[in-house]
Each structure stands twice: as C-alpha cells, then as structure tokens.
C-alpha cells in the first residue's frame, strides 16, 4: 500500500450529490460509493479531512449554525457506519457575500491553501504523504500549489472541469479515486 497518511476530501459533488448550497439534512444525499470509499480509508488508518467552501454563509443563504447542524448529522451518520472524519474544515467567506463579517477575500477559500496548510503543519504531514480529492479545479489547484497528489472526480462539477484540469488523476468517483490511491 502507498504511504498515504491522510486524504483531504471535498464535500459537495464529491461525497454528496451537488444540489447547490446544501445545508439542510433532507437535501444531503450521498453519491453512490462515497460511504464505502470513506470506510476503506478509515479501515486502513488513513486520516480523513473534509475541506469545503461554504459561500452560502457569506451570501446569506444559511448560517454557520445551519452548516454545523448538517455537519453534526453527517459526522454522526458516518460514525454509525464506521467512518471517522478527523476534522471538517470550511471557509464561510466569499468576496461577493452580503453578510459583512464573511464578505471578504481570504486564503482559506479554495483555491486558497490555508486550511490544508494548517493540517499539514499541525500533523507534520509531508506533501507526499497526503492526497486531495475533489470535483472542481479550485480543489485541484490547492493540491497543485502544495505539491500534493490530486484526484479530480467526475461527479458534481467534475465532468466540466476535466477539460482543463491539472489533476494528477481523473477518476469516475470518490470510490474509484480511493481504490487507485490504495494501489
């Protein structure tokens, strides 16, 4: 098995079906195979860091509290299924937001690298020991900037982003990406 110690995984369009600003429990629908992929990572002792842009907070569509409720639900459901999320990292900012405290340009919003860099520093991971999986080139750009192996999945926005991606690999979905990572 590869020497991967941790994986950064995007949420919307990678783990769950992209429905645009998912913040309600009833709108949270897993993509087929994503739960199995996360189980596989957990079973192999690979840390899972969910990393997600949540511009809907800055745009006033929902609150950090709403996001927290969905995150708690998701984390609990994953726990029941034997999946351990080590941390959920999110950016509530957007430069075109309407909520003043969140309406800014930042380095935590992907393709900014701040959230990943925090984990790399805290955990002492080397870029060769981690991978990043997402459905947008903004996800992939984070990994590219940091020298991390990247996977673009063709779920969510992946089909339209594959044309000009700089991803290390393009895979059908999260499960296919994790299987490849395990080889």
Side-chain-side CA neighbours of 108 within 13 Å: the count stands at 17
| Strand, helix or coil for residue 72 | helix
Q: How far apart are CA 20 and CA 27, in angstroms?
A: 10
CB 85 within 8 A of CB 75: yes
Out of 12, 135, 139, 173, which one is annotated catalytic? Answer: 12
Out of 10, 135, 139, 173, which one is annotated catalytic? Answer: 10
CB 67 within 8 A of CB 57: yes
DSSP, res 61? S
With left for phi above 0 and alpha for psi between -120 and 50, is residue 82 left, alpha or beta? left
Is 12 annotated in the active site? yes
Is 10 annotated in the active site? yes
Q: How far apart are CA 58 and CA 128, in angstroms?
A: 34
Q: In 3D, which of 147, 173, 144 has the Cα closest to residue 158?
A: 173
* Residues assigned a catalytic role: 10, 12
């Amino acid at each position: 098995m590869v020497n991967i110690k941790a994986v950064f995984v995007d949420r919307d369009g990678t783990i769950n079906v992209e429905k645009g600003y998912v913040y309600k429990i009833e709108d949270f629908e897993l993509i087929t195979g994503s739960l199995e992929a996360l189980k596989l990572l957990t079973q192999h002792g690979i840390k899972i860091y969910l990393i997600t842009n949540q511009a809907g907070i800055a745009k006033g569509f929902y609150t950090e509290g709403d996001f927290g409720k969905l995150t708690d639900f998701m984390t609990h459901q994953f726990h029941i299924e034997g999946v351990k999320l080590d941390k959920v990292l999110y950016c509530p900012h957007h430069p075109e937001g309407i909520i003043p405290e969140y309406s800014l340009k930042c380095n935590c919003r992907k393709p900014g690298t701040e959230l990943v860099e925090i984990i790399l520093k805290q955990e002492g991971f080397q870029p060769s020991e981690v991978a990043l999986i997402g459905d947008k080139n903004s996800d992939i750009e984070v990994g590219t900037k940091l020298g991390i192996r990247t996977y673009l999945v063709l779920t969510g926005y992946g089909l339209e982003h594959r044309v000009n991606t700089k991803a290390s690999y393009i895979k059908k979905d999260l499960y296919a990406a994790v299987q490849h990572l395990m080889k």
